[in-house]
Amino acid sequence: MPLSSLPLHALHARVTGWYREAGRELPWREPDCSPWGIFVSEVMAQQTPLSRVEPAWREWMQRWPTPAALAAAAPGEAVRAWGRLGYPRRALRLHEAATAMVQRHAGQVPATPEELLALPGVGGYTAAAVACFAFGIPEVVVDTNVRRVLARTLEAKEYPAPALTRAERDLAAHAMPAERHTANAWNVAVMELGALVCVARGPRCEACPVADLCAWNAAGRPAHEGPPRRGQAWRGTDRQVRGVLLQRLRDAHADVHVDLLHDAAADRAQVMRCLDSLVTDGLVEPLADDRFRLPA
């Protein structure tokens, strides 16, 4: 189905209508959620399933309900509270962003995409998502789920390119409704469709509200022709060892001698390499006498 002939108004109506019935009830989607709560949810949800994000988000918001509350805490407390969400540098970036909000924006989440993008650790996706979901600005919000839905429905491709391209971004902008309110509703709805129905493996086309409009479905669901998609290894990797080291420092609630960290992996050289990388990333603070702790 050529893109020019696709009835986008029908796509918008079906997807947003499906979302009203099937979208998950999440605390950061509640009308009374603060911009800070939405900001935290977007940072936490990057590369992390929402089932793991929700309990961590609730604990985080209870402890640090405002940017000022987090900025007043030690960076190490943010890393400790991050727990097993993965990619713990995000905890430090969130702390840095909160500090910048206090220093530059009177303790408030800035409302424009440009100001959001200027915060530490905030990229294009997060700036667009917070502008849209917290402040109603109809920015083009493109995550992995959105890319996959648009690749299938509009381009008859099973998967999008390995990394976001300018052409994909232009496609997402073209696919957005022109009306502000509908555009914002579309952004969250198409993202949810990719998360729950148009999933990467085993898409549930029988439950899709736009199966009859989908170019990939109409083409017989042709197999992916691009480079092979590889899953990320975990066991034995530096990422796993870094996680073990951080968990030990979280559990200790104090500084720890290096001798108590050597058995985080069978290869002592790997342990020291990972410990050095954590120090370089600012996630671990080295002390005298070969002791380490989360940053104070």
Report pLDDT digits (tens) over 131-174: 999 999 999 999 999 999 999 999 999 999 888 899 999 999 99
Chain Cα centroid distance, residue 272: 29
Q: Each residue of 53-92: pLDDT tens digit? A: 999 999 999 999 999 999 999 999 999 999 888 888 999 9
pLDDT score of 133: 96
Closest CA to 175 of 7, 8, 17: 8
What percent of the chain has a predicted confidence (pLDDT) above 90?
66
Q: How confident is the model at residue 1 (pLDDT cuts 50, 70, 90)?
A: very low
Interatomic CA distance for residues 14 and 19, integer angstroms: 9
Question: What token pair was written down for 274?
Answer: 């990972």
Interatomic CA distance for residues 140 and 176, integer angstroms: 7
Q: Each residue of 210-257: pLDDT tens digit? A: 999 999 999 999 987 766 655 556 678 888 888 899 889 988 888 899
pLDDT score of 134: 97
Q: Each residue of 259-275: pLDDT tens digit? A: 889 888 888 888 889 88
pLDDT score of 2: 43
Q: What size, in residues, is the chain?
A: 296
Mean per-residue pLDDT of the chain: 91
Strands 291-293 vs 256-257: parallel, antiparallel or unpaired: antiparallel
**287 SS3 class:** strand
3: pLDDT strictly greater than 70: no
Q: What is the largest CA-CA distance in the chain?
A: 70
Q: Each residue of 100-130: pLDDT tens digit? A: 999 999 999 999 999 999 999 999 999 999 9
Interatomic CA distance for residues 81 and 170, integer angstroms: 38
288: pLDDT strictly greater than 80: yes
Per-residue CA distances from 153 to 46, 208, 244, 256, 295 (Å): 24, 11, 41, 53, 47
Interatomic CA distance for residues 218 and 210, integer angstroms: 11
Whether the Cβ atoms of residue 176 and residue 12 lie closer than 8 Å to each other:
no
Q: Which amino acid is at 260?
A: L
Closest CA to 165 of 118, 217, 226, 94: 226
Question: What token pair was written down for 266?
Answer: 């069978």
Question: 274 in the Ramachandran plot: left (φ > 0), alpha (ψ -120 to 50) or beta?
Answer: alpha
**256 SS3 class:** strand
258: pLDDT strictly greater than 70: yes
pLDDT score of 266: 87
The set of catalytic residues is 42
**291 SS3 class:** strand
Interatomic CA distance for residues 241 and 259, integer angstroms: 15
Interatomic CA distance for residues 265 and 86, integer angstroms: 18
**292 SS3 class:** strand
Enumerate domains of the chain plus CATH numbers.
Answer: 3-9+141-218 (1.10.1670.10), 25-135 (1.10.340.30), 238-293 (1.10.10)
Please state the pTM of the whole predicted model. 0.82
Question: What token pair was written down for 19?
Answer: 């979302």
Whether the Cβ atoms of residue 28 and residue 43 lie closer than 8 Å to each other:
no
